[in-house]
Amino acid sequence: MSNSEPRIALLGTINRDTIHTADGITTESYGGLLYSILALAEIASEDSAIYPICNVGSDMESVIREKLEPYPHVKFDGIQFVSGKNPHCFIDYDEEGRKQETLRNDVPQISLAQIEPFFDCDALCFNFITGMELALDTAQQVRAQATSLLLMDVHSLTLGMDENRRRFWRVPPQWEEWLGCVDVVQMNEQEGALLADESLDCEGATRRFAERVLSLGPSSLMITRNRQGSETLSYNGNSEVTIDRFDSVPAGEPCDETGCGDTFLMGFTWALLQTGDRNLASQFANRVAGINVCLRGIEGIGQIGQYLKPEDRFVVS
């Protein structure tokens, strides 16, 4: 299934991040879609083309060019620099790994016209960093018109915003319609429990939820479970839900969970395009996330490639 020149589009928001971790360290960094872009740039072959689709505040244009221009296979065609300040996310982690986010500043939603040039990419990934990247109608039109493999990290679709711009958990309006827009859905176990309205700590509950999600149109549901790895759920030939489990693979001592979901999806997307095998893709996704958790902030992402041997990248010569 390998494509000699794979084209992958990544839709989301690039944030400025201020991260406070439980060990008392504060990291001023940049994040959001940057985790996906830079992780994929490290994973993917140099003959690939990576197209971020995002609106970026003009105050961050020089930073974004500095971060991305060292990667020739990251293209600027889908990036629009807009007037005003870029979104700034303040993230506070407690000792249990839970986080509280506060978001400052907004950029315009991504329009269908911005996405149309990438309808024929091999993959198009929706990564909801703010949860407000685009309208549901736009996503549905992408589903109807694009020929790409469509993937989604639910992520901040599950977050509302109060009057002080603090993010809070809530069931996303029309979440079933959102999930019906893609082929592959990714979420963590807390997000899954929110949508399922029950804990996913047993196989029966997980299977019930998967049946509901897969009936909406996706062919695969991935649930990440932190130190317990992940599960990939899909229908088998008898129209029964199968659950394939994959171990987490930390590359060292975990220090920062920020971006693990983003890098997981990039590992999965790249390996799936190269092999066509969901299980291999899920294993590789856990490996990439296991590298990311041992790195701190966006500055560490550039080291992902150092942990991977050439044969790990699934590139067929």
Farthest CA pair distance, the chain: 54
Whole-model pTM: value is 0.92
Residue 299 has pLDDT above 90, yes or no: no
pLDDT band for position 4 (cuts 50, 70, 90): low
User: Which of 41-45, 133-137, 226-230 tops mean pLDDT?
Assistant: 133-137
Q: Give me the pLDDT at residue 258, please.
A: 75
Superfamily of domain covering 7-302: Ribokinase (3.40.1190.20)
Residue 1 has pLDDT above 80, yes or no: no
Q: Give me the pLDDT at residue 317, please.
A: 37
Q: Give me the pLDDT at residue 224, please.
A: 97
Residue 243 has pLDDT above 60, yes or no: yes
Residue 34 has pLDDT above 70, yes or no: yes
Residue with the bigger pLDDT between 119 and 31: it is: 119
Residue 206 has pLDDT above 50, yes or no: yes
Quick: pLDDT tens for 67-97: 999 999 999 999 999 999 999 989 888 888 7
User: Where do the structural domains in the chain lie, given as residue ranges?
Assistant: 7-302
Q: How far apart are CA 4 and CA 79, in angstroms?
A: 24
Residue 316 has pLDDT above 50, yes or no: no
pLDDT over 70 percentage in the chain: 97
Could you tell me if 50 and 36 are in contact, meaning their C-beta atoms sit under 8 angstroms apart? no
Could you tell me if 78 and 9 are in contact, meaning their C-beta atoms sit under 8 angstroms apart? yes
Quick: pLDDT tens for 161-205: 999 999 999 999 999 999 999 999 999 999 999 999 999 999 999
Placement of tokens 């978001």 in the chain: 103
Residue 302 has pLDDT above 90, yes or no: no
> What mean pLDDT is predicted for residues 5-15?
96
Axis-axis angle for helices 260-275, 33-43 (nearest 10): 40
